[in-house]
Amino acid sequence: MNDDFDSDTGDDDLFSDDINHDVPFHHAGTLMELNDNKAGMADLDKEKISRIIEEASKGSKFYDHKKKQQERIDAKIADLLRKKKAITEEQLKNASAKVGQIVRNLEKSRDLSRTFVHVDMDAFYAAVEMRDDPSLRDKPMAVGGPGMLATSNYLARRFGVRAAMPGFIGQKLCPDLIIVPPNFEKYRAVNAIFSEVFAKYDPNYSAMSLDEAYLDITEFLRLDQNVRKPSDLSHAEEVVSDLREEIFLATQLTASAGIAPNTLLAKVCSDINKPNGQFYLRPERPVVAEFVEKLSVRKACGIGKVTEQMLNALGITTCAEMFEQRALLSLLFSEISALSFLRVSMGLGSTFMGDSDAPAKSVSNERTFKATSDADFLRDQCRRLCEELSEDLVRKQLQAKSVTIKLKTDTFDVKTRVRNLPEATWNADVLCRHVVPMLESEMAPKRAFRLMGVRASNLCEKSANQQSTLDAILKQPSGTERLCPVCSTSLAKLSLALVNAHLDRCLSGSQQDDVQCPICSGFFRRPEIEHHAATCEGAATSTTPSVKSAPIRKRGAAREDGFVPRDECQRKPKKQLTLSAFFDQRKSES
DNA sequence: GATACTGAG
DNA sequence: CTCTCTCAGTATC
Ligand SMILES: Nc1ccn([C@H]2C[C@H](O)[C@@H](COP(=O)(O)OP(=O)(O)OP(=O)(O)O)O2)c(=O)n1
Ligand SMILES: [Mg+2]
């Protein structure tokens, strides 16, 4: 075991200047200039920040919930420490031997041959808003609403204003804080622009969100023949500097980047010289070892607030300490967790690109509202969530075999209930018929909810085969009226949800005579529903969103339990095609 | 298999 | 007044 990971690291200061290459740009008077005013007159220190936050939240239901949550974590930690106490020398010795073997294997698998870059836009949403409204540039601002902030600019961060903080608390920390509502379409458009830059450096880049991506530039470096001025910078640093410059020229926004031999390290590195900087970690084992040694475990992607607390309780703060305790950790945590801790502490990370086109495993839709126990309101909310989810499923050409309802009480306690469906579906009515009973069994006169959500999982994709038939349908001249391919009823005036409901029912060959109107929940005979629904919908959309009372649901005959006719979405490869064709049509119209 | 928990952005 | 939303993976029973 003398080949332990940290056994041969030198004493050189590997963070000295010749290794830590910070490469800022020097655009005169651009965004994001932190007037580095010293012991900030306006700045708030940590004490003051937490005091204000504390005062703003004390006594609230949210605060109480957080407290209870923390108590559960403390109990878990106490458990962990008890478990640790019970471990014998003998067990530790055995574990140590086992882990030693794993360490050797991991070490053998270490690959320093590839160059990964993690690119992360600086204060992304806020930077876009500042770019487009110069009056915001020298002011503390955040993007979001009074209830929640998505991010803040760097000036606001000095006051402690951060992402995932409610806006009203942000304003207590910083009375001059300007809160701008988000423009997601804009961020998507900006993302599309700099994504083209990513693609030039790695056509296989992997986007993690609208503002960050991993690139493997190994290949690019091999092919890059650009002649550059002599400099202290490595080839990789030059290239990444170019990349960031290109992003800036294309968007007027700055990005930060980390360059390292794997994605885990690249991500950590992108944070080091943020904003508008980059950090290069040389692909040499001792350099990586030294780097990781001092690294706080919290910096590793996957180790969050809770795990950090647990590790801290074991006396582990840095990755070096985590490596020292590897045998103990293998006894206290699951195999998966222990292995991931070990990899982090050795500075090992992924050296290949994640599947960016991996199929989705779930699709969900949830909404927070004013806490209520009103049954009609909740059922109505539930139905809307199902309808919206259904549209999403159709758009993505996915059907669900399981559906989950999520409820959050006014005290912030969350409950989820799943139900497996007899047949995969994307039909809003079907989803709804399964979800509503789950909702009802959780409702109690006393209990008020502040959030409801519906999730589709166990997804199956509609086949490409079906997709092609759909294309044929779409080729119809745009002037022609859209008819239901099964019953030939005109569908021109119906909304996406209604067309969905109609087609699904028609295509399923359902024998059911009663059809429930998705708007008013009333039941109608098949030939009448389309006309009714069109008018009903017109009325509904013109009224305020918070319609308290939908008409009472009358239920004719049998089948309370949301039973789905067996052939609802079975068979009919061809007809399903038709269905999706319709939706694509509608989508391109709107 | 169902539900809760953790983490990310 | 006012503490998000979506998705993935893991833990626990
Ligand atoms: N809880 C969160 C965290 C982030 N975001 C959004 C807003 C951010 O602009 C964007 C990118 O997230 P980052 O963590 O990269 O944060 P920023 O880009 O805003 O700042 P930084 O400069 O620290 O990267 O994602 C969000 O909506 N909700
Ligand atoms: Mg960012």
Per-residue pLDDT at A194: 98
What residues have CB less than 8 Å from A405, skipping those under 6 apart?
A382, A416, A417, A435, A438, A439, A442, A452, A453, A454, A455
The whole-angstrom separation of Cα A167 and Cα A182 is: 13
Out of A358-367, A409-418, A569-578, pick the least confident: A569-578
* Mean pLDDT value across residues A366-388: 98
Per-residue pLDDT at A116: 98
A81 ligand 1 Cβ < 6 A: no
A140 C-alpha to ligand 2 centroid (Å): 17
Per-residue pLDDT at A544: 24
The spacing between the Cα labelled CA in A422 and the C1' in B4, in angstroms, equals: 25
Pocket test for ligand 1, best of A151, A161, A299 (most atoms within 8 A of CB): A151
**Percent of chain A surpassing pLDDT 90:** 67
pLDDT tens readout for residues A307-343:
999 999 999 999 999 999 999 999 999 999 999 999 9
A32 C-alpha to ligand 2 centroid (Å): 13
Q: Could you tell me which residue, A531 or A98, shows the higher pLDDT? A: A98
A56 has a pLDDT exceeding 90: no
A554 has a pLDDT exceeding 80: no
Per-residue pLDDT at A158: 96
* Mean pLDDT value across residues A112-141: 98
A164 ligand 1 Cβ < 6 A: yes
Per-residue pLDDT at A47: 85
A208 C-alpha to ligand 2 centroid (Å): 11
Residue type, A470: L
A184 C-alpha to ligand 1 centroid (Å): 13
Query: Would you call the peptide bond into A275 cis, given omega within 30 degrees of 0 as the criterion?
Result: yes
Per-residue pLDDT at A571: 19
* Mean pLDDT value across residues A148-172: 97
A150 has a pLDDT exceeding 80: yes
Per-residue pLDDT at A466: 54
**What's the DSSP call for residue A136?**
G
Nucleic acid strand B: bases within 7 A of protein CB: 1-9
Protein residue whose Cα sits closest to atom 6 of ligand 1 = A150
The whole-angstrom separation of Cα A473 and Cα A244 is: 45
Per-residue pLDDT at A392: 98
A290 ligand 1 Cβ < 6 A: no
Buried-exposed string A194-224: b where 16+ CB fall within 10 A, e elsewhere: beebbeebbeebbebebbbbbbbbeebbeee
Out of A421-430, A502-511, A546-555, pick the least confident: A546-555
A11 has a pLDDT exceeding 50: no
A492 — pLDDT class (breaks 50, 70, 90): low
Active-site residue list of A: 212
Protein residue whose Cα sits closest to atom 19 of ligand 1 = A123
Per-residue pLDDT at A453: 98
What values do phi and psi take at A162, rounded to 5? Answer: -135, 165
A354 — pLDDT class (breaks 50, 70, 90): confident
Q: Output the CA torsion sign for A84, A89, A91, A97.
A: positive
Nucleic acid strand C: bases within 7 A of protein CB: 1-12
Chain centroid to Cα A230, Å, comes to 42
CB proximity A304–strand B (7 Å threshold): yes
A151 C-alpha to ligand 1 centroid (Å): 5
Protein residue closest to C8, using CA and C1': A361
Per-residue pLDDT at A367: 98
A493 has a pLDDT exceeding 60: no
- A103: number of Cβ within 10 Å: 19
Per-residue pLDDT at A44: 80
Angle in degrees, CA A582, A584, A589, rounded to 5:
100
Chain A 197-256, CB < 7 Å to strand B: 208-209, 211-212
- Map out the domains of chain A with their CATH numbers: 116-139+176-283 (3.30.70.270), 362-463 (3.30.1490.100), 470-589 (no CATH)
Protein residue whose Cα sits closest to atom 28 of ligand 1 = A150
- The Cα-based distances of A276 to A31, A32, A33, A412 in angstroms read 10, 9, 10, 38
A275 ligand 1 Cβ < 6 A: yes
How long a stretch of residues is chain A? 590
CB proximity A64–strand C (7 Å threshold): no
A355 — pLDDT class (breaks 50, 70, 90): confident
Residue type, A494: L
Per-residue pLDDT at A486: 42
CB proximity A411–strand C (7 Å threshold): no
The whole-angstrom separation of Cα A147 and Cα A169 is: 9
Per-residue pLDDT at A200: 98
A349 C-alpha to ligand 1 centroid (Å): 23
Per-residue pLDDT at A235: 97
Protein residue whose Cα sits closest to atom 17 of ligand 1 = A123
Nucleotide nearest to A405 (CA to C1'): B3
Average pLDDT, chain A: 79
In ligand 1, the atom with minimum distance to the C-alpha of A125 is 9
A513 within 8 A of A440, measured Cβ to Cβ: no
Pocket test for ligand 1, best of A211, A267, A276 (most atoms within 8 A of CB): A211
3-state SS record for A349-378: CCCCCCCCCCCCCEEEEEEEEEEECCHHHH
pLDDT tens readout for residues A243-281:
999 999 999 999 999 999 999 999 999 999 999 999 999
* Mean pLDDT value across residues A199-221: 98
Chain A 40-69, CB < 7 Å to strand B: 69
A124 ligand 1 Cβ < 6 A: yes
A141 ligand 1 Cβ < 6 A: no
The whole-angstrom separation of Cα A452 and Cα A381 is: 8
A52 — pLDDT class (breaks 50, 70, 90): confident
* Mean pLDDT value across residues A26-30: 35
A368 has a pLDDT exceeding 80: yes
CA atoms within 13 A on the CB side of A25: 26
Q: Could you tell me which residue, A412 or A463, shows the higher pLDDT? A: A412
- The Cα-based distances of A490 to A204, A487, A530, A534 in angstroms read 44, 9, 9, 11
Q: Which residues surround ligand 2, an ion (CB under 5 A)?
A: A 120-121, 124, 211
- The Cα-based distances of A310 to A48, A79, A333, A528 in angstroms read 27, 10, 11, 62
Whether the full predicted model's pTM is greater than 0.90, yes or no, is no
